[in-house]
Amino acid sequence: MPFSTYKKALITGASSGIGAATVERLTQEGIEVHALARSAEKLAELSKKTGCIAHAFDVTDLEKLTALCLEHEFDILVNSAGVDRPGSILKADAEGIDALIDVNLRAVLQLCRLTLPGMVARDCGHIINISSIAGAYNFGGNSTYHATKSAVSMLSRQLRIDAFGKRVRVTEICPGRVATDIFAHVHGDSEATYKNYIEGYELPVAKDIADAIAFAIDAPIAVNVGHMEITPTMQVPGGLQTTRPTDV
């Protein structure tokens, strides 16, 4: 379904990283892009640069989400907003668990609920969910993050069943490490953070993910790109560890 089929897109987490890059990419295709994020200042800059329509509020604000989706018929939904608080469940706190569930999962579910029925009725639409390799592979810590991204992965497959028989496509994008400012948001914007997660690595950048999203959207109507795992060439997810009990 080429870009010319679609008129309006809603992109969350749009003020930086993959979300902002996707706003730039889709506006280049003549789509009316609605960019949603908390930072009014960053959205204003993005709007000036791309012509997108800015909506500065939290993606967890259901009242405002509902009003926005009632006002506009979105043909494309990109769920890019996400947060993380590293740590295993042994060290998790209630506030952190709720924050991750609210942004990474609940907001995604609500936006799908608000937009998918219209897409089905119009026989036209595309939902893109940005999950993570953390939804498919286990690694140290980040227990709640793994759980929310795994749920988004399952939801993405389920949405295709819900819309079966209609020309509504669903794509799950699963990035590995990408050179964005997410590490600064999680670990603090410092030289140490940059050295630990970015410096010296050959990493995809946000534009690479946005181009992958554009590829999926621009595929022919008969093609649904359901799942894309995008990692650095030099990153391998998974692994096997064995240890001895500490009481021996």
Instruction: Please name each of the domains of the chain with its CATH number.
Output: 3-178+205-229 (3.40.50.720)
Measure the CA angle with vertex 55, ends 210 and 95; round to 5°.
85
Q: Which of 140, 119, 137 is nearest to 128 (CA)?
A: 119
CB 113 within 8 A of CB 77: no
Catalytic residue among 6, 137, 145, 201: 145
Q: Residue 129, Cβ neighbours under 10 Å: how many?
A: 23
Q: What percent of the chain has pLDDT over 70?
A: 95
Helix ranges (DSSP H) in the chain: 17-27, 40-50, 62-71, 94-100, 107-122, 143-162, 182-187, 191-197, 206-217
Residues 71 and 229: their CA atoms lie apart, in Å, by: 34
- Predicted confidence (pLDDT) per residue in 130-178, tens digit: 999 999 998 877 899 999 999 999 999 999 999 999 999 999 999 998 9
Q: Cα separations (Å) of 19 from 16, 46, 90, 209, 244?
A: 6, 11, 31, 9, 43
145 is an active site residue: yes
Q: What percent of the chain has pLDDT over 90?
A: 77
